[in-house]
Amino acid sequence: MNGTLRSTRDIAKAAVRAELARVAFEMFARDGFDSVTITEVAAAAGVSRSTFLRYFGTKEDAILGVLDAQGAAVAGELRGRPAREDDWTALRRALGTLLAPYLSDPARALTLARMVRDTPSLYARQLEKHHSWRPLLADALAEREGTVPGLRHTVRSAAALDCLAAALEAWTSAEGRRDLLALLDEAFAALR
């Protein structure tokens, strides 16, 4: 089988994972993250608790599991940016690709952003995931210039991720009424 084709089993697993995440999100949004148990989410989705835990190790992962692949995706976007772009421009453009869900479904994105902001365990997990992106972005920056990743790359990656976090916080605090891309631009401009 061609390595680029996904097996039927992989497609089915992805569909189950997406459905479990959807059910969890709806329940957490309606009843509050801390008020809903894994057992309740599993029952609502029509699966056992152990099945839920095969797909998501924690409740937090049911909400933030999508972030796992996003770090690698942003690093890939960063590598693909034109060589003529400076690091800040390339980082800004690469991180901007993460905002598509916020722009396509702002109501859902705002619900998620509020849930993360207002739930300490979700907020901590999101910070942890963003922190894990630093080396990925630092490696991509170094590759763009043909060097070995160093402190400069790590610092720039960390600063760019903080810009993203600040823009998302400002957008959430404004109840989604501000232009998120403009906020990200503003955050990056503050670094220059």
pLDDT of 29-79, one tens digit each?
999 999 999 999 999 999 999 999 999 999 999 999 877 789 999 999 999
Does the structure show a pLDDT above 80 at 190?
yes
Task: Note the pLDDT tens digit of each residue in 128-168.
Answer: 999 999 999 999 999 999 999 999 999 999 999 999 999 99
Mean pLDDT of 5-20: 87
pLDDT value of residue 9: 87
**From the CA atom positions of the chain, what is the Rg in Å?**
18
Q: Using an 8 Å Cβ cutoff, are 48 and 42 in contact?
A: yes
Domains of the chain: 8-58 (1.10.10.60), 66-191 (1.10.357.10)
Token pair 């509050």: residue: 32
Question: For residue 56, which of 38, 35, 29 has the smallest C-alpha distance?
Answer: 38
Task: For residue 146, give the 3-state DSSP assignment.
Answer: coil
Token pair 């998620």: residue: 112
pLDDT value of residue 108: 92
pLDDT value of residue 5: 61
Does the structure show a pLDDT above 50 at 1?
no
DSSP state for residue 58 in the 8-state scheme: S
Give the Å distances, CA to CA, from 83 to 62, 151, 156. Answer: 37, 21, 17
Question: For residue 24, which of 119, 88, 134 has the smallest C-alpha distance?
Answer: 119
The Cα–Cα gap between 24 and 57 comes to 13
Mean pLDDT of 103-131: 93
Mean pLDDT of 97-122: 93
